[in-house]
Amino acid sequence: MWSKKLKIDGMTCPSCADGIEKRLNALDGVKIKVSHPEGIGILTVKGKTSLKSLLKKIREKGYQVTELANDTATADDATPAAANNGRPLHVAIIGTGSGAFACAIKAVENGARVTLIERKPIIGGTCVNIGCVPSKIMIRAAHIAHLQQQHPFPGIARQKPVIDRKQLLAQQQARVDELRKAKYESILESNPDITLVKGNARFKDAQTLIVDQEHGHKSEISADRFLIATGASPSIPPIPGLAGTPYWTSTEALETAQLPRHLIVIGSSIVALELAQAFLRLGSRVTLLARHSLLFHEDPDIGAELHKILEAEGMTLLTHTQAEAVSYKKGLFSQGKFTIKSTAGQTLTGDRLLIATGRPPNTRDLSLEQAGVEVDNGGAIIIDAYMRTSVEHIYAAGDCTSQPQFVYVAAAAGTRAAINMTGGDAAIDLSAMPSVMFTEPQMATVGLTEAEAKKRQIKTISRTLTLENVPRALANFDTNGFIKLVMEEPSGRLLGAQILAPEAGEMIQTAVLAIHNEMTIEDLAGQMFPYLTMVEGIKLCAQTFRKDVKELSCCAG
């Protein structure tokens, strides 16, 4: 393998650099990283491809290119291989979820070789296998079932849906398998610089992992850089009698082939509410126990409004209630029966029990103390904005850290970790991070709530627009929910948005970009939004800071 530093003249924009990278990186064994502002390309070649032929391909694109002497390269310009005494940097990654694969792909692009270690039989982590993908498929199916019997159009006959859960589950699993193959397995098959090792990894010291494999075999893996991306697992509360019963976590709930007659849910955050409503709409009776109010950590208006909506659909919600004891009796010819005694003095019975009380990080079995990696009181790995742990060459990303538990956060963190471990300098900015819950209506938030701003001693003004004032919601005959915007005073800058509405997950990115670009409420109010769309509601809400929305005409400018 050899590397060269090239001077490339004639590039006029970043797309020029992208075009050169795309053309050369498509060749076997060839990697080039091009900087448009500097007019520099760092070329790394494995195999017999000649420098002359590669320079010709760059010139065919209309650029002038010359080879620079190797001794002119600075440490910042060096490829990972050059910076590592002529051999590829070796990155070991524990886990194979979105953060792990994002890191692996970027590290290989930057010249490293990667070893992935996975303890489970299949790769891909939570999102594709037992989280985001299967849950959204189930939620969508439940939404269709709900519309069949509860839609708002009297000219279309309503009917009770016939649910074949086994057939729905087969479709769901087929799509999961398809996406895992396309987004994870095929990457391994097509990339010789990424190696998969199956087994349980733990640190021997700061430079070495011990991997416990099948049949008592052990192996050791040494690396130059490490990424810990082990995710999180469901929390099981210490309720007397719960251990040993066939309770569900979200995994079993998503994989069940039989709908329960009565599902009892313990929990009140995103996972609990999404699955509770999905089962309700598929025909199960659902009772939910919430330790506090719904979505206790969000703006209180969201939990209060969603509470009304779910009760109207038929869900039983017991807020400020906990389970004191759980028992289970097996059935002879049918499903068994759970009995739950609550702190409110109630006794509840149901044939299934779902525990959805949070997801602590998977760090207990990693022997992090052997490497000197620090964790917080909950076992989450402490990292900085560059994904560095307390040990300089060990990084972490995703749900095993104190970062928000969203797949897009894990992927962004994994990519930035790879950039940093191969000589770059990339931080993650979570100040405009969106959060979405896929109940109906959906919840989507970004930035600060009124309460959070007050804690930071920021003076704010907020406005709430109910969906009765959004033309698209009126046209849909679906006005459950609201849009709330939080403005900094006196600057007028948008600080936060809380939305409870159909398609809130699609709407929120407008607020994300507005906050990221420090737009004011006036900026938002003056933008052109397409009519009739739900996202137009953000513009209308922005206009209410200065006007009465009821005095505006349709698509008011």
Given a contact cutoff of 8 angstroms between Cβ atoms, the answer to whether 124 and 102 are in contact is no
Per-residue DSSP letter, 167: H
CB atoms within 10 A of CB 373: 22
Q: Is the pLDDT of residue 73 over 80?
A: no
Q: State the first-to-last Cα distance of the chain, in angstroms, to the nearest integer.
A: 61
**Helix 165-180 crosses helix 132-150 at what angle (to 10 degrees)?**
140
Q: Give catalytic residue positions.
A: 11, 13, 16, 63, 127, 132, 554-555
Q: Is the pLDDT of residue 47 over 60?
A: yes
- The answer to whether the bond into 161 is cis (omega within 30° of 0) is no
Q: For the chain, give me the number of helices (H) and strands (E)?
A: 18, 24
What pLDDT shows up at residue 557?
A: 64
Which domains are present in the chain?
2-78 (3.30.70.100), 85-233+359-430 (3.50.50.60), 250-355 (3.50.50.60), 435-551 (3.30.390.30)
- What lies within 8 Å, CB to CB, of 503 at 6+ separation is 442, 534, 535
C-alpha to C-alpha distance for 277 and 139, rounded to whole angstroms: 8
As to burial, measured by CB atoms within 10 angstroms (0-12 exposed, 13-18 middle, 19+ buried), residue 298 is buried
CB neighbour list of residue 147: distance below 8 Å, 6 or more residues apart: none
Q: What is the mean pLDDT of residues 490-508?
A: 97
**Does residue 220 contact residue 210 with C-beta atoms inside 8 Å?**
yes
Selected residue with higher pLDDT from 553 and 301: 301
- Note the Cα 252 to chain centre separation in Å: 21
Q: Given this model, what pLDDT does residue 404 score? A: 95
Q: What is the DSSP letter of 161?
A: P
Q: How confident is the model at residue 211 (pLDDT cuts 50, 70, 90)?
A: very high
State the average pLDDT for the chain: 93
Q: Is the pLDDT of residue 66 over 50?
A: yes
Estimate to the nearest angstrom the gap between the alpha carbon of 412 and the chain centroid. Answer: 9
pLDDT, tens digit (0-9, with 9 covering 90-100), for 1-29: 778 889 898 787 777 888 898 889 889 88
Q: Where are the alpha helices (DSSP H) in 26-157?
A: 51-60, 80-83, 98-109, 125-130, 132-150
DSSP string, 58-82: HHHTT-EEEEEPGGG--TTT--HHH
As given in the structure block, the two tokens for residue 416 are: 């930035």
And the tokens for 404? Answer: 């928000």
Cα(110)–Cα(31) distance, integer angstroms:
8
**Residue 285 above 90 pLDDT?**
yes
Listing DSSP states for 483-496 in one string gives EEEEEETTT-BEEE
H or E segment and range at residue 511 = helix 504-516
Provide the 8-state DSSP code for 1: -
Gap between the Cα atoms of 134 and 171, Å rounded: 10
Average pLDDT over residues 132-150: 98
What is the side-by-side order of every strand in the sheet holding 337-342? 323-329, 337-342, 347-350
Do 54 and 35 form a contact (C-beta atoms < 8 A)?
no
Q: Is 390 exposed, middle or buried (0-12, 13-18, 19+ CB in 10 A)?
A: middle
For residue 77, what pLDDT band results from cuts at 50, 70 and 90?
Answer: very low
| Average pLDDT, integer, range 499-521 | 98
pTM greater than 0.95 (yes/no): no
Confidence band of 548 (pLDDT split at 50, 70, 90) = confident
| Nearest to 361, CA basis, from 413, 318, 400, 310 | 400
Give the torsion through C-alpha atoms of 258, 264, 268, 271, to 10 deg: -10
**Per residue in 265-283, pLDDT tens?**
999 999 999 999 999 999 9
Interatomic CA distance for residues 541 and 521, integer angstroms: 9
Q: What is the pLDDT of residues 435-447, one digit of tens each?
A: 999 999 999 999 9
Residues 6+ apart with CB under 8 A from 523: 514
pLDDT score recorded for residue 9? 82
Please give the Cα distance from 420 to 396 (Å, whole number). Answer: 12
The DSSP secondary structure of 437-450, one letter per residue, reads: E-SSSEEEEEE--H
Residue 71 pLDDT > 70 = no
How far are the Cα atoms of 332, 463, 465, 537, 556 from residue 548, in angstroms, in the given order? 64, 11, 11, 14, 12
Q: Residue holding tokens 């992208």?
A: 18
Neighbour-count burial of 183, counting CB atoms closer than 10 A to its CB (0-12 exposed, 13-18 middle, 19+ buried): middle
The Cα-based distances of 553 to 108, 353, 464, 470, 540 in angstroms read 55, 50, 19, 11, 11
Confidence of residue 84 (pLDDT cuts 50, 70, 90): low
Ramachandran sector of residue 442 (left: φ over 0; alpha: ψ -120 to 50; beta: rest): beta
Q: What is the pLDDT of residues 217-227, one digit of tens each?
A: 999 999 999 99
* Predicted pLDDT at 78: 42
Which residues partner with 501 through β-bridges? 442
pLDDT value, residue 76 = 39
Q: Are 497 and 486 within 8 A, CB to CB?
A: yes
CA-based angle 241:246:251, to the nearest 5? 120
pLDDT value for 72? 35
Q: How far is the C-alpha of 37 from the C-alpha of 32, rounded, in Å?
A: 16
